[in-house]
Structure 1
Amino acid sequence: MRIAVIGLGLIGGSLLRALAAAGHEVTGFDADPATRELARAAGHRILDSAPEAVDGTEVAAIAVPLPHLPRVLADLAGYRGLVTDVTSVKGPVRALADEHGVPRFVGGHPMAGTAASGFAAADPDLFRGAIWVLCVEPHSTDLADWLTLARLFTALGTRVVPITADEHDDAVARISHVPHLLAAALTSTLAGAPLSATLAAGSFRDGTRVAGTRAELIAAMCAGNAPAVHRELDAVIADLIRLRDDLTDTAPTAKILPYLEKSTKLRQSWPPTPGAPGRMTADADALLALGRSGGWVTSVDGTELSTMRPETDRFSS
């Protein structure tokens, strides 16, 4: 398949390398000349503009931060191929695609990454075993286009989860965007505290890992999903206030123990254990039912999908 990747940072660069390794005819573009030269030096066909990169391709994958998407979509005016993206918020991207009149669009988000950034950190195996969200909008997503991308990404070793853009944004606010803000808040406690910096060990390292992500990327994804992030932050803050108040009780251990036992059980049951493999014929309702159950697609054969769902009794409490 002829595919263009626009934006060659960690995710875009890894996608470029993974698709090339899988035998696809891949072209790329990045707005940064140094990044283009780095990708060329790695043996890839890199063009000097987005329109040149997508010319003659069947699929264009946009891998730029949300603030840069309007410019890229404007550059792709007139492109008739299938467009997808890797942005960590989906509702605003869907709105931009509509605004720019993109005729064929399926929003995507690979749940993969590291604290590193840039093409130099790109890894063709980054997505192997990772979740790749592919949005299904019941009244607008073309099923054939969705299946094209699901086939492409499952062949790279990903697990494709079908959900709507709004469902995606609600979920990632909870499990990605708010954790980035919490990590930043925890990291800020090191300011002016050299003793704390010396004593900090595993729990601090694990709790603050994503604070090493580029600040502009964290700001863009949280601001782009502000309503959902605000809602989830309120929920977390309410829990923290409750725990703070419980610690003033005459028996603080007994007061906070039930909450901690519940969270311990939830953490020990994550990630979900896959259940028995399944098969299904693709249609929008069936895909959304699969995604909403926490299930995913493992391979695509025409309109027949191999699927997996998690065990359903591990997150009931």
Structure 2
Amino acid sequence: MTAFPVPTMPAPPVSVVGLGQLGGSLAAALAAAGRPVTGWDVDAAARDAAAARGVRIAQDLDGVVVLAVPLPAMTTALDGLTVTPDATITDLGSVKGPVLRALGERWGTRVVGGHPMCGTERSGHAAVDPALFTGARWAVCLEEDTELARWLRVAEVALAVGAEVVPVTAAEHDDAVAAISHVPHLLAAALAEAAADAGPLALGLAAGSFASGTRVIASDPAFVTAMVEANAGPTAAALARVLAHLDRPWPALVAGGHAVATRQTGRREVRVPLERAALLSVGRAGGAITRRLAAFVEGWMPEVV
């Protein structure tokens, strides 16, 4: 395979639109690391909180522009703001296909989709945590028309705050997160309501397993609804797989789930060239990129112990 020639360039500044939990945490982490970072939010309190953490507050955006806003606001988040002509646009949305299609209509190949797999059921600037991304997986979309230099700029932002980058296509991302994020939100909602139906005694006895199973549905209902509806097709397919498993004999279901949850895997270190197929192979294997090294990247792939 021939790697794309990618010139070494200084790390560009980062501009974050939306300074709630994810965007505010990203801006704070970058500012703490000494990276030039500009932030903007329609909420004055969020702007003030970010400024107190060393973030420059302004409406002129350049470098890597990160949209950390709710899914319904993605296409309008940059209205009224000034974006430099060479800026790369990325996002932190939990669904990628619809977002990339919508943003691509305005920004073309300047768009590189992203999704850090972190966050909590809390929201807003009061939930900001500069360490939020440390050790997290951060999906960065690599489509057929993605400009590799722009992909690298987004990947390097993720690496700069301690995340591990997972190269993935938008379609692969949406199928995967339907199974491990979107369906769990629906199941948490169903579990909470079913327990409530069982009566006050059931809720009074609820402990760790119930709390773990329902934690995510404490998230803003508007956020959860927008997420699952934007990814309706993959989420319905993933939910159907869950229902099929629930129809199995309970001993087989329990044993199978236990085997998945307790399997032991190790990590095999890899170095791959800056080439689309090679990068995607890391993500598809369940691995991640941890470091940029000239014309290569380093990372790991899982292997059964």
TM-score exceeds 0.5: yes
Aligned residues: 292
1:235 aligned onto 2:225? no
User: Deviations along 1:190-224, whole A, 9 cap, x unmatched?
Assistant: 43621111100111011111011111111111011
What is the Cα deviation at residue 74 of structure 1?
4.2
1:292 aligned onto 2:284? yes
1:154 aligned onto 2:159? yes
User: Secondary structure at 2:166's aligned position in 1?
Assistant: strand
User: Deviations along 1:280-315, whole A, 9 cap, x unmatched?
Assistant: 11101111111111111000022211110011x47x
Residues 126-165 of structure 1 correspond to what in structure 2 (within 5 A)? 126-138=132-144, 140-165=145-170
Instruction: Name the amino acid aligned to 2:131.
Output: D
Q: 1:304 aligns with which of 290, 293, 296?
A: 296
What is the Cα deviation at residue 153 of structure 1?
1.6
1:119 aligned onto 2:119? no
What is the Cα deviation at residue 159 of structure 1?
0.8
Instruction: Name the amino acid aligned to 1:143.
Output: L
Distance change >3 Å, CA 135–CA 274, structure 1 → 2? farther
What is the Cα deviation at residue 273 of structure 1?
3.2
Q: Is this contact kept in 2: 1:84–1:107, CA < 8 A?
A: yes
In structure 2, the partner of 1:46 is 57
Q: Is this contact kept in 2: 1:6–1:28, CA < 8 A?
A: yes
Q: Is this contact kept in 2: 1:74–1:100, CA < 8 A?
A: no
In structure 2, the partner of 1:174 is 179
Seq. identity, %: 45
User: Deviations along 1:140-190, whole A, 9 cap, x unmatched?
Assistant: 111111112222321321110001000000000000000001001111124
Structure 2 alignment gaps of length 5 or more: 1-11
Between the aligned partners of 1:43 and 1:19, the Cα distance in structure 2 is: 9
Between the aligned partners of 1:122 and 1:266, the Cα distance in structure 2 is: 33
Q: 1:20 aligns with which of 28, 31, 56?
A: 31
In structure 2, the partner of 1:260 is 254
Between the aligned partners of 1:43 and 1:227, the Cα distance in structure 2 is: 41
Between the aligned partners of 1:164 and 1:277, the Cα distance in structure 2 is: 22
Between the aligned partners of 1:152 and 1:42, the Cα distance in structure 2 is: 18
User: Deviations along 1:78-98, whole A, 9 cap, x unmatched?
Assistant: 642011110000001110122
Q: Is this contact kept in 2: 1:155–1:299, CA < 8 A?
A: no
Q: Is this contact kept in 2: 1:297–1:305, CA < 8 A?
A: yes
In structure 2, the partner of 1:8 is 19
In structure 2, the partner of 1:216 is 222
Instruction: Name the amino acid aligned to 1:261.
Output: A
Q: Is this contact kept in 1: 2:178–2:231, CA < 8 A?
A: yes
User: Deviations along 1:264-286, whole A, 9 cap, x unmatched?
Assistant: 000112xx734221111110111
Larger radius of gyration: 1
Q: Is this contact kept in 1: 2:289–2:298, CA < 8 A?
A: yes
1:62 aligned onto 2:67? yes
In structure 2, the partner of 1:250 is none
Moved more, 100-109 or 17-26: 100-109
In structure 1, the partner of 2:8 is none
Between the aligned partners of 2:202 and 2:250, the Cα distance in structure 1 is: 25
Between the aligned partners of 1:148 and 1:28, the Cα distance in structure 2 is: 18
Q: 1:92 aligns with which of 81, 98, 121?
A: 98
Instruction: Name the amino acid aligned to 1:162.
Output: P
Between the aligned partners of 1:41 and 1:189, the Cα distance in structure 2 is: 44
| Cα-Cα RMSD | 1.7
Between the aligned partners of 2:261 and 2:152, the Cα distance in structure 1 is: 33
Between the aligned partners of 1:42 and 1:21, the Cα distance in structure 2 is: 8
Between the aligned partners of 1:6 and 1:135, the Cα distance in structure 2 is: 19
Between the aligned partners of 1:72 and 1:147, the Cα distance in structure 2 is: 23
User: Secondary structure at 1:60's aligned position in 2?
Assistant: strand
User: Secondary structure at 2:292's aligned position in 1?
Assistant: strand
User: Secondary structure at 1:101's aligned position in 2?
Assistant: helix
User: Secondary structure at 2:77's aligned position in 1?
Assistant: helix
Instruction: Name the amino acid aligned to 2:77.
Output: V
